[in-house]
Every structure is written in structure tokens, then in C-alpha cells.
Copies of this chain bind each other. A is one copy, B any other.
Amino acid sequence: PTVSLDVDSDDAVSEDGSEFMAKSIYIVSDGTGWTAEHSVTAALGQFDYCLVDRGCPVSTHLFSGVDDVERLLEIIKQAVKENALLVYTLADSSLSSAAEKACKLWGVPSTNVLGPITEAIASHLGASPSGLPRGASRVPLSDDYFRRIEAIEFTIKQDDGASPQNLAKADIVLTGVSRTGKTPLSIYLAQKGYKVANVPIVMGLDMPKTLSQVDPKKVFGLTINQSVLQEIRRTRAKTMGLSSQSRTNYSEMDYIREELEFAGKLFAQNPVWPVIDVTAKAIEETAAVVLRLFHDRKHKCTMSRISKRY
């Protein structure tokens, strides 16, 4: 469903009355709130069928950095007024039990998102959770921190076929025609620490020579359904304000079909490159496929997995 930012906090009393029924979900964290928000978003996926067209509108309200009991209780009191569901992550056990008690007392439905997983990890490791929220212990700058930043900066510099002489330095090279989502996919993977280069396929233009020198196991082709691509390109041409001349060419069906065929031939010439159909896939879904294949190729595991060491 369409997500919109910047909902007015008092939308429950908005003018046309249609928003009167919006159910509130309060998200509270002593950290950033991104973990709880991610979980709420995924769980809301189970209600897509009734969220579509705002059939059962939901509004989420994220409260981050909540690290004292006064502020916590103030928020829960507000949740009572708005009939909200409270979803929280609180590292300090005195805070999380205060939340639990207050919710019980005041009748606010609530879920402690990380409680069960933290307990499970504690008994798995045979160690107790520190109870310290994110930011309490100032961890020195890690290798991981520098690696991610380097990956992001590399990926930005390599966007859209720039600096082909650096292709060999990439962990992953993405290729596909315009609007197959190379840029957002590259950035998503970069945030996860991979150096990504993306190289556009344009009908009639040669691919950079350096691409043929890159280990083909790093290269991934992206393809997409013709009519969906046309829809995306039309939207693109409108927002870019392309002249109607170039717009027609760019988003015309014959041209798109030929360009996808041109890409298909290139992919056929490079049978080692996996070709991923991005039609109707969200960026993070395509990223999951790319990384699964990438790690399989590196490790030749019997069972497809992505492993990390903490």
C-alpha cells in the first residue's frame, strides 16, 4: 500500500471524516526505533488486503530515544487517548517492565518486539543481556563502519556506468536497460557493505571493454516485463520533463521491446551472468536474490545461505 510521510498527528479529527477511523500504532524505542518500525512494516504486509485503498487505514507514530520512565509513561498515556497499539523495544529491563505494567493497568494492547529473541539469544550464548540501550556504550569506530562508508562512496561514484576503469574493484556489477532499478538496488547493497558498480545497457552502444575483463561471477543481469517497463518509463519521462520527442522513443513499446532483446542477446553471450527478473519485485527483494546467488557462488554451500560473523 502507499505509505505517506508527514501525517498530521491530529488526523483523527480531519475534515472529511474519512480518516476518523485510522487506527494508531505507537512505536517506542530507547534507540532509533528502526528495528520496531521494520517489524511493524513487515507485519502490516499481512494486512495489505485491507490497507489497500485505505480500507482500514493505519497510522504509525514513531517515538525514538525514549530512555526515561517519565517520557515513557507520558507516551503511554497518549496511547490510551488515541486507542493506540503500543509496539516497543526497550533494552533497560526496568523500563520495559514499566511499559508492560502501565499497559496492563491502563488497558493498552502492547508487544515487546525484541524481548523473546533477546531471551532466546541469552540462553543460547549463556550470557545475560547488558540492559544497555544503543548508544550507552560508546563503541570505537569499527572496521565494519569504514567498510560500509567506503562501499557507499564507491557505489555512488560508479553509478550509471561512470568510471568503467574501476569495474574490477567492485564486489558486484549490475547491468540492465534504463529503469530496471540498477541505481536503487546498487545503493541498497552498498548499505549492506558491498561495493557495487552498475552499467547501463543502451541499444546500439557498446558495453565498456572493462566489463569483459571483470570476473563474470560478479556480474548480474536485470530484466523486466515489457509493459511494466513502459509504465515505469512513462512515469519517469513525465517527472523528468523529457521533450515529447525523446519521451516517445524512450517509452514507446517497439523501442522497449528491441532494447530488451538487445539486452537479452548480451545476456546470452554471457551465460555465466545470472539474469534476474525484477518485475513486481521490491528493491529489497531483488537484493535478497542477488546476495543469495552471490554467496552461493563464493562458497558453493550445499544449502543456500548468507553467513556473517559477530
CA distance A109 to B208 in the complex (A): 51
Total interface residues on A, CB under 8 Å, equals 121
Q: Given the complex, which residues of B lie within 8 Å of A261, measured CB to CB?
A: none
Q: How many copies does the complex hold?
A: 2
Does chain B have a CB within 8 A of A191? yes
Q: Which of A31-39, A209-217, A251-259 contacts B (4 or more CB under 8 A)?
A: A31-39
Q: Which B residue's beta carbon lies closest to that of A85?
A: B124
A152 / chain B contacts, CB cutoff of 8 Å: 183-184, 187
Question: Please, which residue of chain B has its CB at the minimum distance from the CB of A135?
Answer: B285
A68 interfacial contact with B, CB 8 Å: no
| CB atoms of A32 and B285 under 8 A apart | yes
**In this assembly, does A64 line the interface, its C-beta being within 8 Å of a C-beta of chain B?**
yes
In the complex, chain B residues whose CB is within 8 Å of the CB of A8: 299, 307
Name A157's closest neighbour in chain B (CB-CB).
B159
* 17 cross-chain CB contacts under 8 A: A2-B143, A6-B295, A7-B307, A38-B38, A39-B113, A39-B117, A46-B132, A59-B308, A63-B305, A65-B289, A85-B121, A110-B120, A111-B117, A116-B116, A134-B282, A152-B184, A153-B184
